[in-house]
Every structure is written in C-alpha cells, then in structure tokens.
Amino acid sequence: MAVFGFTTGILMLAGAPPMEAYGLLLKGSLGSGKKVGAVLTAWVPLTLCAVGLLYTFRIALWNIGVEGQMIMGAVFATAVLRWGVESRLPLFYLILAFPAAALGGGLWAMGAGLLKTKGGVHEIFAGLGLNFVAQGILLYLIFGPWKRPGVASMSGTAPFPPELWLSSVSGVRLSPEGVFLAAAALAVTVWMFRYSRLGLVFKAAGNNPTAVMLFGEKPGRYMILAMVLAGAFAGLAGGVQVAGVYHRLIPSISSNYGYLALLVVMLSNYRVALVPAVAFFFACLNVGGIQLPMVLKIDSSLAGVIQGAWVLAALAAVAWLRKEGRPEEAR
Amino acid sequence: MRKNRGWVFFAVSLVIFSVAFCFQPAEGSDKPFIFGLLLVGPYNDHGWSQAHYEAGLTVEKKVPGTKMIYIDKVNPADRPGVTIPQLADDLVEKGARLIIANSDDMKDGTREAARLHPEIHFLHISGDDVLTKKAPSNLANLMGKMEYGKMMAGFAAAMTTRTGKIGYLGPLINEETRRLAAACFLGARYAWEHVLNRDPKALDFKVTWIGFWFNIPGVTADPTQVCQNFFNTGYDVVISGIDTTEAVVVAKQKKQEGKAVWAIPYDYIGACEGASEACLGVPYFNWGPGYIDFVKGSMSGNWESKWVWLGPDWNNINNPETSTVGFLPGPALPEKAKAALEGFIKDLGSQKAVLFKGPLFYQDGSIFLKEGEVATDAQIWYMKQLLKGMTGASSAQ
C-alpha cells in the first residue's frame, strides 16, 4: 500500500493522472497479443539471467558480473553467426550460436569465480571489473573489426540475414525458441534445487562453507561451478538478444537485463517459483513504460521509479517478515 | 508459513491493481489524421530532434485535421530493449497512419516495421532505401541538401579563424557524415582561397569522430572533451556535425575565459541561443515543407515511395515556408565575414560558385571528380572518403 501511495505521489508530482498512468502501463504491456509478445521478448533474457543468479545467490555469491557475462554471450554468439553468413548451413550456425553464447558467459563468469577463490578478490569487484572489460571488448568489436563496411558507428554491426534469426511468431515478433529456452532453464533449475545433490551442496556451501569443507567437499570448486552455471545462463540471454531480438550486435546488447535480473531475484526472495512472475512484472513495466511519454508526455523513466519502489518495498517487507518470524526461522 | 502468506498477499494485490486499472475511457469521436514521430534524441535537444519535433508542430498548424504523437530518445542507450518495430506497433495502435523515423540509426528497423505494416506509410529521414531498392512501397525517404548549409558554415569558419585551424566535431562515419564534413571543408577552402587569397595548404581542417550522433557516456568519445581538445590545441573554430550543442557550449566557456574561439552548431535554428557570444551561425534544417508534402500525400492517398532531397530556396534560404535548408548568421560573426557570406550564398544560388566540381581528390589521392566534372547527386550522396586536404579518418581503421 505504501508503495502504491508512493508511486502515485511521484506520478502526481510529475503532473500525470496516476490512474491513467497505471492503466496505460497495463494496457501498454498486456493490451494486445503484440504487447504480450514484446513483454515475453523482454521476459526471456530477464528470466535466463535471473535463473542463473539463483545458483550464485544460493551459494552466497553476489554475481554482479552477470551483465558482462550476458555481453560475452552475445559476443560469442555473434562470432559464430558471422561465420554463418553466406554459409550453406545457416541453421547449423544458428544452433551452434547458443552453446557458444553459454560458453562465452560461462568463461567470463569463471574469471570472476577464479579471482574470488584463487585471488581473494571479492566477487562484486571482480564482476564489476569484468563488466567494464566486456563492455570494452564489445565496443572495440563494433567500432573496429566487426564494423559495417565503410561505416564507423556505435550503432551496431550490420544485421544478419534472416536465415540466421530465430524464428518468430508471425505478427507477434516473439521467438518461441527463446521462450522455450527460458522455460527449460526454469525447469532444470527447479529440478536441481529440489532433487539434485548439487543443489543441496550449493545451499550448504552458501550457508556454511566450513561445514562443507569438514565433509570433504571443496567450497571453492562449487563456487566456481555456480558462477559458471550463472554465466552460462546469462550468456544464453545474450545469445537470444543477438539472434532473436536485435539480429545484430549493438553496444547496449545487454539492455541492462543483467542488473535488472538481480532485482528480480531479490524481489522473488531468491525463490525459483516466483522468478518467472516477477520477471514478467518487470518486463511489463519495461514495455508498458513507453506509453507514459507517448500519451502523457512524462518521462518513461518513471516506470523505472515504480519498479525501484516495488523492489525496495518488497525487500523491506521481507526483512520485516523475517524479523517477525525469527524465533522459528532463525538462520 | 507466515512468510508465504506475505508473498501471496503481495502477488494478489499486484493482480488486483492490474485488473482495477485495466479500464480506460474511450477516445473522442472526431478522427484526426494522426502521424507519429520517432525521435532519436530528446524532443528539446536544441538540435536534430528538436528541428523534427517543431516541424511536426508546424504540420499540426498548417495542415488542418492533423495530430502528432511522438516518442523521443529512441535509441538503445536511452531505451534499452526497445526496438523500432515495437515502437511502430505502439504508434499504429494509437492511430498513426504515417510514421516518421528521424534517424539514420533507424534504417533497418524502419524497413522491418514498414514490411510489417503495409497499410501504414513510413518516412525515413536521411535514408536511401528507395535508392537502393530495398524499400517496400509504403516507405519513402526525405533529406535536406545540408551540403549547402555546411558550405556556408565552412565559409564562415574560414573567414573568422585567426589560426587557420578549423576543427570538425564529427558524429559517426558513414556516407552522410563524410559528405557533410567534405562540404564544410570545401566551403572553408573556397573562402580561404578566393576571398582571403591565401594558400590552401595553410588551411588546417581536422575531423574528429565521436562514434555516434550524440554523447553516450562510456560508449562514444565525449564531445565536450573533443571540443576542449580542439580549442586547447590551437583550433579556434569548431564546426559541429553532431545532433547536440556541446561545441557552442564549450566555445562559450572558453570565450568567457578570455580565449578568442568560436563555434558553429548544427541542425536547429535556435541552436545559437544562450551562447551567442561564441556562435558564428547555424546551418539548420527546416523540415516543415518536406513534412507537409508527405503528410498531405499520405492523407489524400497520393503516397509515393520516393527519395526526396530538398535544397534551400535560393530566393531566401531562411524562408520557413519554402526552404528546407537554411543558415542563420550568429551574433559573433564579424561584419566583414557576414557581408562576404551573403555574397557567397548568392553565388551558390546562381551557380557561380560550384564547389563539388573537379579536380577533387579523395584522401588517398584517388580521383573523386575529374577536371571540370560537376558531381551528380548520387556522387555527392555516396562519397567514399573524405577529401584530400582534410585530416581525419575516412572510415574506421
């Protein structure tokens, strides 16, 4: 309620009728099949990144580097797709782009993981640093070796021919493969956390690394594994952005979905079951937010303010609920 | 369990709010002709995007029964995750019958959107899809012959510089930007050689590209720094080729520090405002006439998929009704230079001064125009390199 009051207040301050603004956000995100398609298009990378982050959060690591991992996924996917241009087997390269994307993200995450476990660098700093490096590599490639012929522009590489695009539902512009990937990622993760030994060890290592060590396991190795898994999922998200959304490599290929995914996971209280719903909500805000400037002539970043307010409120609520329930749920 | 209940409550309240605001009042009954504008920058950038936005307002005023809707900051840095076809959907849903996309950067997206909405007309500014035959029949191109504006800018710069060093703040490198930078250089060299009677070899014309049409922190080079660099290394006039006003802003600061420096902004008639002491004038677009033509064509069913390159009205290049390209002299332009510039504009109009005329050489020494050869529109449009005599990259290294 407080959040609602707060966001309403902000909207009124901005001179927008709040009810209309909320209505626009909703209609602008779910008002038609196309809109839902656009929302799902944002939902896919957001969910993939968030699912990856569940692994690292489970082992108590802050994988801020998810953004860079997504970028490297996009870079690896682009590299493969570039080989596929004018080849006789475009489908082969299109499929290969995804393992490559996962590899790119995974390797990049492994870098942060090794820095953490071998070098003693906190994963937040390692991740942030690697984000900058990834961004640098991305810009270098776009402006340098992968530039369009005769052009030097930060607006991106030349688009791939349509045979190297993921398919899209006609009229909706949503690639079913992307949705399938995200759904599969969710399913695998649910299974891992519920039934696999690995999921259990992640949790144990996150809660008490020393205890895990006493049981003869090496927490460092599991940390790296969790990082690699997170990076692979983020890399896939990058691959989807390249092959399914932009059909080329652009400087903001990650669309900040990595950072946004961190919020998704926090707002989901680190639970895999809530991740798709929260990611969907964020995707709605992202897509519907464009209505605010178009109709009400207010800045669309207000959608971001609403988003932020929800996250803060949810975190506060979680903290409060934990405090309330501390006696039986002490952690 | 309690924790669970909290989350369920949260989820339920989310749904309730969502449903509660689903209902929207219906729209009015009289149906105006709606045209949508996709602006790459902010609508009030004092540059490229504002010139388009104001042309939209002009259309609303001059063509009865029209209404503009617009989305600004349409670029992946400002609106991550948003694509042109998606925004075109939004505009169409709001009733737009004609969509104007104002950036070179939107070329691929506009073509894709035009294919998806064959019943909607699309006008891509600065593009050449019609020339390259990539355009579907509902897509047209419009551009202004800014070469002339840029020649005037170069002319004014050369008449003013005391060091003989002119800096050009370039956006990204492509055919359009090469063409405009080259036009500036030709205007400057003309003044240098034919008005000031000085050795063309002594004129230093340097182009520095930032990588995009405006500053994207962390992605492009910072135009403010590029300008400062120019001014700190002896370049006393900077001509801007980017969408925003950094060049005049920095020149004004330097002027206030006591340096004798000037700048020439670009795109928007009001770009000198607020920096008049350093502003030599501005070559600007007046998109009104072009817009009105296409809007009327779309309304009356006489739409044509054509490529239109509108020039200045040489009777009065600053006539808002007729001239697509103009040059507004700035307060800092010296009187003598202003008088010479007026003569130059007259000579351009009467074709006494033809600047894209051979012999002209590309940067690598190869021939662009043979002795006496006058460039065709296509030759100017598709210039492959900068011209010999200019410093700076012709394409990425």
Q: What's the confidence (pLDDT) of residue A328?
A: 41
Q: What's the confidence (pLDDT) of residue B130?
A: 95
Question: How far is B371 from chain A, CA to nearest CA, in Å?
Answer: 26
B283 near B264, Cβ under 8 Å?
yes
Q: How far is CA A33 from the centre of its chain?
A: 23
Residue boundaries of the structural domains of chain B: 33-144+288-310, 147-284+328-391
Chain B interface mutation, best of A142, A252, A266, highest count of B Cβ atoms under 10 Å = A252
Q: What contacts B373, CB < 8 A, 6 or more positions away?
A: B357, B358
Among candidates A30, A154, A322 on the partner chain, residue whose Cβ is nearest the Cβ of B219: A154
Strand pairing category for B237-240 and B262-264: parallel
pLDDT tens, position by position, A202-228: 888 888 777 777 777 777 888 999 999
Size of interface A-B (CB pairs under 8 A): 135
User: Where does the pLDDT of residue A331 fall: very low under 50, low under 70, confident under 90, or very high at 90 and above?
Assistant: very low
Q: What's the confidence (pLDDT) of residue B121?
A: 97
Q: What's the confidence (pLDDT) of residue B342?
A: 96
Partner-chain contact A150 B212, CB within 8 Å: no
Domain B33-144+288-310 fold: Rossmann fold (3.40.50)
For residue B394, CA distances in Å to B334, B364, B384 come to: 32, 10, 8
Among candidates A34, A152, A314 on the partner chain, residue whose Cβ is nearest the Cβ of B209: A152
Contacts of B397 in chain A (CB under 8 A): 144
Partner-chain contact B7 A256, CB within 8 Å: no
Element (H, E) at B110: helix B107-116
- Going by C-alpha positions, the residue among A232, A264, A224 that lies closest to residue A69 is A232
Maximum Cα–Cα distance across chain B: 89
Q: What percent of chain A has pLDDT over 70?
A: 94
- List the single range of A181-185, B225-229, B342-346, B391-395 with lowest mean pLDDT: B391-395
Q: Mean of the pLDDT values across residues A188-195?
A: 91
pLDDT tens, position by position, B6-33: 555 555 555 544 444 443 334 444 689 9
Question: How far is A148 from chain B, CA to nearest CA, in Å?
Answer: 9
ipTM over 0.85: no
Question: How far is B340 from chain A, CA to nearest CA, in Å?
Answer: 36
pLDDT tens, position by position, B92-136: 988 999 999 999 889 989 998 999 999 999 999 999 999 999 999
Q: What's the confidence (pLDDT) of residue B27?
A: 43
- List the single range of A50-54, B18-22, B71-75 with lowest mean pLDDT: B18-22
Domain B147-284+328-391 fold: Rossmann fold (3.40.50)
Among candidates B21, B216, B393 on the partner chain, residue whose Cβ is nearest the Cβ of A19: B21
User: How far is it, in rounded angstroms, from Cα A214 to Cα A194?
Assistant: 23
Q: Which residue has the higher pLDDT, A285 or B27?
A: A285
Partner-chain contact A252 B77, CB within 8 Å: yes
Partner-chain contact B6 A251, CB within 8 Å: no
What sign results for the dihedral spanned by CA atoms A266, A272, A278, A280?
Answer: positive
Chain A's closest residue to B80, CA to CA, is A255
Chain A's closest residue to B96, CA to CA, is A294
User: How far is it, in rounded angstroms, from Cα B175 to Cα B195?
Assistant: 29
Q: Which residue has the higher pLDDT, B120 or A153?
A: B120
Q: Mean of the pLDDT values across residues A36-40?
A: 91
- Does the domain spanning A2-324 belong to CATH 2.60.40? no
Among candidates A32, A250, A274 on the partner chain, residue whose Cβ is nearest the Cβ of B7: A274
Q: What's the confidence (pLDDT) of residue A301?
A: 67
Q: What's the confidence (pLDDT) of residue A33?
A: 84
Whether residue A327 is predicted with pLDDT greater than 60 in this model: the reply is: no
Whether residue A112 is predicted with pLDDT greater than 70 in this model: the reply is: yes
Question: Per this entry, what is the length of chain B?
Answer: 397
Question: How far is A177 from chain B, CA to nearest CA, in Å?
Answer: 18
Contacts of B91 in chain A (CB under 8 A): 294
Partner-chain contact A269 B21, CB within 8 Å: no
User: Where does the pLDDT of residue A308 fall: very low under 50, low under 70, confident under 90, or very high at 90 and above?
Assistant: confident
User: Where does the pLDDT of residue B163 fall: very low under 50, low under 70, confident under 90, or very high at 90 and above?
Assistant: very high
Q: What contacts A210, CB < 8 A, 6 or more positions away?
A: none
User: How far is it, in rounded angstroms, from Cα B17 to Cα A325?
Assistant: 28
User: How far is it, in rounded angstroms, from Cα A100 to Cα A89?
Assistant: 17
Q: How far is CA B153 from the centre of its chain?
A: 14
Q: What is the mean pLDDT of chain B?
A: 91
Q: What contacts A157, CB < 8 A, 6 or more positions away?
A: A78, A141, A142, A146, A147, A148, A248, A249, A250
Among candidates A31, A150, A153 on the partner chain, residue whose Cβ is nearest the Cβ of B211: A153
Q: What's the confidence (pLDDT) of residue B132?
A: 93
Q: What's the confidence (pLDDT) of residue A9?
A: 76
Contacts of B220 in chain A (CB under 8 A): 154
Partner-chain contact B172 A314, CB within 8 Å: no
Q: What's the confidence (pLDDT) of residue B8?
A: 56
For residue B85, CA distances in Å to B56, B95, B98, B114, B131 come to: 21, 15, 14, 8, 22
A256 near B80, Cβ under 8 Å?
yes
Partner-chain contact B72 A321, CB within 8 Å: no
Q: What's the confidence (pLDDT) of residue B26?
A: 40
Maximum Cα–Cα distance across chain A: 68
Among candidates A151, A246, A321 on the partner chain, residue whose Cβ is nearest the Cβ of B395: A151
Contacts of B99 in chain A (CB under 8 A): none
